[in-house]
Amino acid sequence: MKIVHYITRLIVGGAQENTLLTVEDQHHLFGDQVTLITGPGLGPEGSLEERARRGGLDIRLIEASQRAIHPWHDWRTYQELMRLLREIKPDLLHTHSSKAGIIGRAAAEKLRLPCVHTIHGAAFHYGQHPLAFGLYQRLERWAGKRTAKFISVCDAMTDQYVAANIGTRDKFVTVYSGFDVEPFLKPPRPPEQVRAELGLKPQDIVIGKVARLFPLKGHEYIVPAAKAVIDRCPNVRFLLVGDGILRPQVEAELTSLGIRDHFVFAGLVPPSQVPELIHAMDIVVHTSVWEGLARVLPQGLIAGKPVVSYDIDGAKEVVIPGQTGFLVPPRTISELSNALCELASDASLRKRLGETGRERFTDQFRHQTMTKQIREVYASVLNLES
């Protein structure tokens, strides 16, 4: 197959890692002619550009492609994308992320090119201004008519898009966002060594969160919940993996509550370091208020860790109460702290939930499984034998 992928920018993030793994697998495992078009990987999150180039992939950069809405830059992006697609002449365009999805599907229609779009997280979501929410719904309905097939990273995304009249259910296929599971099955370095480097003691119960310190990631709920947990379980420590604009605010709040010493900030780390940090945790917590299906949830489970998550979007598809972790109502504090305390005080429960998660989800979240299923979607769109 000759496939072009387009994503707005190649920063460190779930959607971007999903896209890059798909491109790598198509190139190295399946021998497809595959090109990745993207914008500059600029931002505090870090960039995946270097990794993509080291892998010998065909990367084309559109300098004007950026996350913020900017009519002039967006028009230039559309024109450059059209030029590249005419040059490459792919069989199919696969778009990722909200903005790339709109621009890409507009270009594909103009060139009479079939287009598949992955919904990594709904373009319209909690926390948006009502005008932005309505605009994105209208744009998605427009683009939906120009989409040969939608790939949802969880069933919840399909439900939301069908409910918003963006497409009929038969146009959607769920393909869970895969990753390299091996480092989560077997840590690259002994957890005891990693914990010692972070200043964590063997007797500490470590609750970890992997997320950028940005709005909608829910750090404002972790802080008061942590105070309640520490009051009841003084041997608990919190490990925050990620960085961002909210870090000074979070640190100031922790200091004012007198619990700064119970928190370790790992900062921005390369994706390759995430598995060893999750293995250094005893519990994984996820408090985002909007996210398709956060990769850290299956990653934590495959590492054998129980997870506590707000009941948002696709979380319930892997966080199964009483089997792999706890689901609590979004934006609640007492329910969150109660679940964390229950796990922190019961080692056998942590072990049982983590082992069940590993058994249930390891094969389902292998990136090779994901890419095989995505290529089957392409084959169905192109009427080919998969």
CB 230 within 8 A of CB 297: no
What mean pLDDT comes out for the span 221-242? Answer: 96
Q: 71-102: b or e for each residue (b if 16 or more CB lie within 10 Å)?
A: eebbeebbebbbebbeebebbbbbbbbbbbbb
Q: How many CB atoms are located within 10 Å of the residue 198 CB?
A: 16
Contact 201, 286 (CB under 8 A): no
β-strands 92-96, 58-61: how paired? unpaired
What is the Cα–Cα distance from 341 to 352, expressed in whole angstroms?
A: 16
Dihedral, CA of residue 301, residue 304, residue 305 and residue 307, to nearest 10: 20
Per-residue burial over 253-286, b if 16 or more Cβ lie within 10 Å, else e, is: bbeeeebeebbbbbebbebebbbbbbbbbbbbbb
Q: How far apart are CA 83 and CA 357, in angstroms?
A: 46
Q: Are 4 and 35 in contact (CB under 8 A)?
A: yes
Burial letters for 352-379: b for 16+ Cβ neighbours within 10 Å, e otherwise?
A: ebbebbbebbbeebbbebbbbbbbebbe
pTM: 0.89
| Residue 91 clears pLDDT 50, i.e. is over it | yes
How much is the pLDDT for 385?
59
Per residue, the 3-state secondary structure of 320-363, as one string, reads CECCCEEEECCCCCHHHHHHHHHHHCCHHHHHHHHHHHHHHHCH
Quote the CA–CA distance of 280 and 187 in Å, as a whole number.
9
Amino acid letter for position 96: H
Q: Which two tokens stand for residue 251?
A: 């640190």
Q: CA-to-CA distance for 297 and 233, rounded, in angstroms?
A: 24
Q: What is the pLDDT of residue 186?
A: 95
Taken in order of first residue, the domains within the chain and their CATH numbers are: 2-178+366-382 (3.40.50.2000), 182-365 (3.40.50.2000)
Whether 386 has a pLDDT exceeding 60, the answer reads: no
Residue 14 vs residue 149, higher pLDDT: 149
Each as own residue / partner, the long-range contacts of residues 168-173 (CB below 8 Å, 24 or more positions apart, any chain) are 171/144, 171/147, 173/149, 173/373, 173/377
Residues 6+ apart with CB under 8 A from 338: none
| Residue 297 contacts residue 309 (beta carbons within 8 Å) | yes
What is the tens place of the pLDDT at every residue in 170-207? 999 999 999 999 999 999 999 999 999 999 999 999 99
pLDDT at 361 over 50: yes
The predicted model gives 208-232 an average pLDDT of 95
> How many beta carbons lie within 10 A of that of residue 316, not counting itself?
16
Q: Is pLDDT above 90 for 122?
A: no
Average predicted confidence (pLDDT) for the chain = 94
CA–CA distance, 300 with 183 (Å, rounded to integer): 11
pLDDT band at 47 (very low <50, low <70, confident <90, very high): confident
Tokens 């287009």 correspond to what residue?
115
Distances (CA, A) of 179 to 69, 250, 274, 359, 383: 30, 30, 12, 16, 28
Share of the chain above pLDDT 90, in %: 85
What is the C-alpha to C-alpha distance for residues 257 and 250, in angstroms, rounded to an integer? 11
Q: Looking at this protein, which amino acid is placed at residue 295?
A: R
